[in-house]
Structure 1
C-alpha cells in the first residue's frame, strides 16, 4: 500500500509550530522528498540552526506503528543509520526528526557502491537483535513456506533490515547508511544478504549467480544451509507474486520477476 505524500505547508499550523519548537529553530525552507512509499510527510527542513529530515504519518494511519518501531530501534543502529533526534505525537500526527545526511541513493549496478554495501551488511550481520518488540523471521514468512520444520532455520538473534531498496541506502562519507527501519526483524544473519540478492537482480546487470556472488562477500551468507536458502527463495517468490497480484505497477512487477528468477535459479521455482 503506497501512501499519498503531502507537503510541509499542508500540515496543520500547530504541528509545524511544534516541530520548530522541538528543533529549537525557525524553519526557513521546506523541500518535500519524493523517494520512499510509506510516509505521508517526508521533508528536508532548512532552519536557522541547520538542516533536519522529518517524516511522519497521521495517528489514524494503519501503519503508524512503523514510526514507533523506527524510534525504538534507532538507538541500536550507531554507524548503520542516521540518528533520530526525537519522536513526537502531536495534534493527530506521529513525527520523527532525523539528523540530516548529505548523500545519494546507492546504485546497485556500480561496483563501488556494492563494495560499500558489503561492508555495511557485514557490520549489520554482527549486530544483535535489541531487547525491543520486533517481528521474528520465522513468523514473518510462515505463510509462504510449505515445510514448517524449515521455519525454525530462519530463526536467529541478528538484527535484520529486510527492505534493501536502493532508496533506503544512502552513500555518505565513504560508507553506506540504511534508512527506513520500519520492517526491522530478528532472524538468522544470512537473511539480509539473501534478500539483497533479489534487489540486485531487480536493479539490472546481475543474473542470479552474479547477485549471489556479491551476497557471498558478506560473512553471514556462509552460515546458511543451501537447502534452507532454497526454501527461503521460494518463500520470497510466493510473497512477491502475492504482492504483485494480477495488475502490478512497474516497480512491484520488477521485484516479482526478480524473485521468481532467483527461486528458479535455486531449483525450487
Structure 2
C-alpha cells in the first residue's frame, strides 16, 4: 500500500462484526485518508458524516475539509466483502466515462491500490426522493432519465456487458426454483413455473438491443433531489450495461410501484408485453435470492429482497 503499512485482514474483518455496520472515515488507514484529502484539496478533512442506507459495508461519507471543500467518499476493502470491492472497481470504470452533460455526480478522483478501492465524488447538496413517491419528484426523476439517455447514447463505454448479459443469470432464477421449489413458495407461482421461466427468458431478447449506457439499478436510494432546483441526480454506477433506454424507466416504475404508487407514466413508452416479461424475471430473481444466506458483512440485504418479492408478486399476477 502506498504511503504506509498494509492493513491486515483481521483488522478489516473486525470492523464489520456488528450487523449492519458500515465503516466510516476514521476506519480508513491514515495513508488512504491522506490520499483522499489530496484529491479533494483544501487541507485535512475536519468533518465526515456517514450516510445511511445502501448495502455496501464500505464508507459512504460526506466530508468537509478545513477550508470548506466538500466531497463524497466511497471506500471498501476486499477483506470486508470481495464483491463490494469488485463493484467499486466497476463503478470507477463507468463513472470515469460519464459525460459532464449527464445528471450524475462529477468524479473528482479514484484509486485502487489492490487493498482499498476508493472513489471521490462531488458531494451533491440534496436528499433521496421521498417514498411513497411524490408527483413532483417522480416528474424530476423521469426528466433526469430522459436527460441521461440523451447524454449516454451512444454509450461512452463500449466494452460493457449488454443488459441481456447483465440480467441473464438473475432471470434464470425460475429454473433454480423449479429444481428445488421452496416449501413457502406462493402456490400461484408454484403452479406456473414453466410459464414464468419462459417469460423471463423472453425478456432477455428485448434486453439484447440498444446502445444506451443503462444504470440497471434505478431506485429512490440511488437518486438525489437537489435542494436548490429540485433536479434529480443519479448516483451509484456499478451495474452499468449497454442496452435499451427503457430499462431505467421501467426500473423507476418498479420502484414507484413497490412504494405504493402508480408507475404508469414511467411505462407509457414501453411495450406492455416487455414490461410483463421483465417483471417475471425480476420476481423470479427476488424469490430465489431472498432465501439464500446473506453475503459477508451485508446482513440486511435478504430482508430487502424478500420485501421486493412480496411487493411485486401481486403486480405480476395481475399482469398475467
TM-score interval (norm. to shorter):
0.7 to 0.9
Decide whether the 8 Å contact of 2:40 with 2:70 is kept in 1: no
| Runs of 4+ deviating beyond 6 Å | none
Decide whether the 8 Å contact of 2:60 with 2:72 is kept in 1: yes
Q: Which of 242, 249, 256 is the equivalent residue of 2:309?
A: 256
Task: With a CA cutoff of 8 Å and minimum separation of 6, indicate the structure with the bigger relative contact order.
Answer: 2
Alpha-carbon separation, structure 2, partners of 1:71 and 1:91: 14
The reply to whether residue 37 of structure 1 matches residue 55 of structure 2 is yes
Q: Which residue number in structure 2 is paired with residue 76 of structure 1? A: 98
Decide whether the 8 Å contact of 2:224 with 2:233 is kept in 1: yes
Q: Which of 116, 136, 139 is the equivalent residue of 1:112?
A: 136
Decide whether the 8 Å contact of 1:18 with 1:90 is kept in 2: no
Q: Which residue number in structure 2 is paired with residue 228 of structure 1? A: 274
- The 3 A distance-change label for structure 1 pair 264 and 124 is farther
Decide whether the 8 Å contact of 1:198 with 1:255 is kept in 2: no
Q: Which residue number in structure 1 is paired with residue 234 of structure 2? A: 178
Q: Using the TM superposition, name which of 174-183 and 131-140 deviates more.
A: 131-140
Gaps of 5+ in 1: none
- The 3 A distance-change label for structure 1 pair 188 and 265 is farther
Could you tell me the TM-score, scaled by structure 1's length? 0.85
Could you tell me the TM-score, scaled by structure 2's length? 0.73
Encode CA deviations 1:5-58: one digit per residue, 9 max, x unaligned. 112111112212222233232111122112221251111111024111100111
Q: Which residue number in structure 1 is paired with residue 222 of structure 2? A: 168
The reply to whether residue 67 of structure 1 matches residue 88 of structure 2 is yes
Q: Which residue number in structure 2 is paired with residue 17 of structure 1? A: 34
Q: Which residue number in structure 2 is paired with residue 134 of structure 1? A: 160
Gaps of 5+ in 2: 1-18, 173-196, 294-300
How much has 1:122 moved relative to structure 2? Answer: 1.6
Encode CA deviations 1:227-263: one digit per residue, 9 max, x unaligned. 2322111111101111222798543222112222232
Aligned residue-pair number: 256
How much has 1:118 moved relative to structure 2? Answer: 1.1
Alpha-carbon RMSD across the aligned residues, in angstroms, is: 2.4
Greater Rg, structure 1 or structure 2? 2
Q: Which of 67, 71, 81 is the equivalent residue of 1:52?
A: 71
How much has 1:141 moved relative to structure 2? Answer: 2.5
- Helix, strand or coil: the match of 2:83? coil
